[in-house]
């Protein structure tokens, strides 16, 4: 590694690391390494800024700051005091520390956090504040302490456009990675017949226009001494792509449709998004040319009663198989029984991934009429 380079760990929903790796490589990042729960890269601060700003599937971007062995708290204290905190954090700027201990002689995470926090306070005359955007993360695993800085702040699924949400929405990062898993590249029509607050449709529209995921939000790295506003502006200049397609969503709930329209406006993609009120049985292909149907129906965990959902899934399967000839279909659900109730023959089922504490899978197929 060159002196200005360091290790960066980009996290994602476990189970979708391949899709994130693909996106990171498209962004032009070098020295990529796939690990459980994310991708390691080697780079500098420009890479930290770019990955936060552009990546649609990343959850967090962590800057690996230091790594050392520590078998007791006094050793952790001593080594933490030796670190060059002045280079990483601002003088007198509030911060917070979070520690996880796994299979180590140091097992008390709160005590470990206190030692690291004191080292930072002593060096920078800064106070720890639980509300600070600046988060130092320590992981002590098998007596090896790795200290990282969360350069993102709020989770990267918070794009900044969502002013209105319905019940149990899908996270933007998950919608983006599932679209990528279905080989969506901006050149296919996308339709979500249970669009809720419009997440899948808006993500598809943003991808088609080449709009960066983080263009409407701030990041924790903007509060660091390494941040250079003018360089950041240059790195994040983007001309939207030309696009002739539209992206479609429908929902039986008029309130959900109003939310989708609001969110599309806030994201500046309302001209290429179309939303309308419709039941599942009333759903029809929005275009003659087949595209992608991606849908996140209720699973009966947070929304709806499971027994009553079988009829909904049957209706979804029937509508898709009768009307959507040639379309690629992706159904996100936590319940194999409900997926089976659609009557569709699935060609691929993803490994389980976490959606807000519920393990879900993507069930994919293509509708082919004989």
Inter-CA distances, 190 with 152, 213, 363, Å = 29, 18, 16
CA 362 from centre of chain? 16
For the segment 253-276, the average pLDDT, to the nearest whole number, is 96
Under the banding of pLDDT at 50, 70 and 90, the label for residue 3 is low
Q: Are 162 and 198 in contact (CB under 8 A)?
A: no
Q: Are 333 and 339 in contact (CB under 8 A)?
A: yes
Q: Determine the pLDDT at residue 301.
A: 66
> What would be the CATH architecture of the domain defined by 172-211+239-366?
3-Layer(aba) Sandwich (3.40)
Residue 104 pLDDT > 90:
yes
pLDDT in tens, 5-54: 999 999 999 999 999 999 999 999 989 999 999 999 999 999 999 999 99
The string over 281-311, giving b where at least 16 C-beta atoms fall within 10 Å of a residue's C-beta and e elsewhere, is eebebbeeebbbbbbbbbbbbeeeeeeebbe
User: Could you tell me the pTM of the whole model?
Assistant: 0.94
- How far apart CA 32 and CA 10 sit, in angstroms, is 10
Query: Mean pLDDT: which of 161-170, 216-225, 294-303 is highest?
Result: 216-225
DSSP secondary structure, 149-204, as one string: EESS-S-TT--S------SSPPPHHHHHHHHHHTT--SSS-EEETT-TTSHHHHHH
Which residues are registered as beta bridge partners of 191?
248, 293
Residue 295 pLDDT > 70:
yes
Q: Determine the pLDDT at residue 4.
A: 82
- How far apart CA 162 and CA 198 sit, in angstroms, is 9
Under the banding of pLDDT at 50, 70 and 90, the label for residue 2 is low
Residue 302 pLDDT > 80:
no
> What would be the CATH architecture of the domain defined by 6-150?
2-Layer Sandwich (3.30)
pLDDT in tens, 333-345: 999 999 999 999 9
Structure tokens at 271: 């001209």
Q: Are 156 and 125 in contact (CB under 8 A)?
A: no
Q: Determine the pLDDT at residue 16.
A: 96
pLDDT in tens, 187-243: 999 999 999 999 999 999 999 999 999 999 999 999 999 999 999 999 999 998 999
Q: Are 32 and 21 in contact (CB under 8 A)?
A: yes
Domain ranges for the chain: 6-150, 172-211+239-366
pLDDT in tens, 232-261: 999 999 998 999 999 999 999 999 999 999
């Amino acid at each position: 590694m060159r002196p200005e380079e360091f290790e960066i760990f980009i996290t994602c929903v476990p189970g979708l690391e391949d899709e994130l790796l693909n996106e990171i490589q498209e962004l032009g990042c070098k020295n990529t390494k796939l690990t459980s729960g994310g991708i390691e890269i080697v780079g500098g601060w420009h890479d930290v800024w770019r990955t936060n700003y552009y990546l649609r599937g990343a959850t967090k971007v962590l800057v690996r700051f230091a790594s050392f062995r520590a078998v007791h708290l006094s050793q952790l204290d001593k080594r933490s005091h030796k670190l060059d905190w002045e280079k990483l954090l601002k003088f007198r700027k509030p911060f917070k520390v979070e520690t996880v201990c796994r299979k180590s002689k140091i097992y008390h995470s709160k005590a470990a956090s206190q030692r690291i926090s004191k080292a930072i306070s002593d060096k920078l005359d800064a106070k720890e504040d639980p509300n600070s955007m600046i988060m130092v993360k320590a992981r002590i695993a098998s007596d090896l302490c790795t200290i990282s800085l969360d350069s993102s702040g709020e989770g990267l699924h918070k794009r900044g456009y969502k002013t209105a949400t319905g019940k149990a929405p899908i996270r933007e990062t998950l919608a983006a990675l599932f679209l990528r898993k279905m080989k969506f590249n901006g050149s296919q029509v996308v339709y979500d017949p249970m669009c809720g607050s419009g997440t899948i449709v808006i993500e598809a529209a943003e991808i088609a226009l080449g709009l960066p995921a983080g263009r409407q939000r701030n990041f924790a790295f903007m509060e660091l001494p390494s941040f250079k506003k003018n360089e950041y502006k240059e790195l994040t200049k983007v001309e939207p792509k030309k696009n002739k397609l539209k992206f479609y969503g429908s929902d039986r709930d008029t309130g959900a449709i109003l939310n989708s329209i609001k969110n599309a406006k806030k994201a500046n993609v309302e001209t290429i998004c179309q939303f309308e009120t419709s039941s599942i049985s009333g759903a029809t292909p929005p275009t003659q040319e087949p595209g992608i149907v991606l849908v996140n129906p209720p699973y009966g965990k947070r929304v709806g009663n499971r027994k009553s959902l079988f009829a909904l899934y049957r209706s979804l399967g029937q509508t898709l198989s009768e009307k959507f000839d040639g379309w690629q279909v992706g159904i996100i659900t936590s319940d194999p029984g409900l997926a089976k109730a659609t009557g569709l023959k699935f060609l691929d089922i993803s490994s389980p991934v976490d959606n807000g504490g519920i393990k879900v899978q993507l069930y994919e197929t293509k509708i082919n009429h004989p």
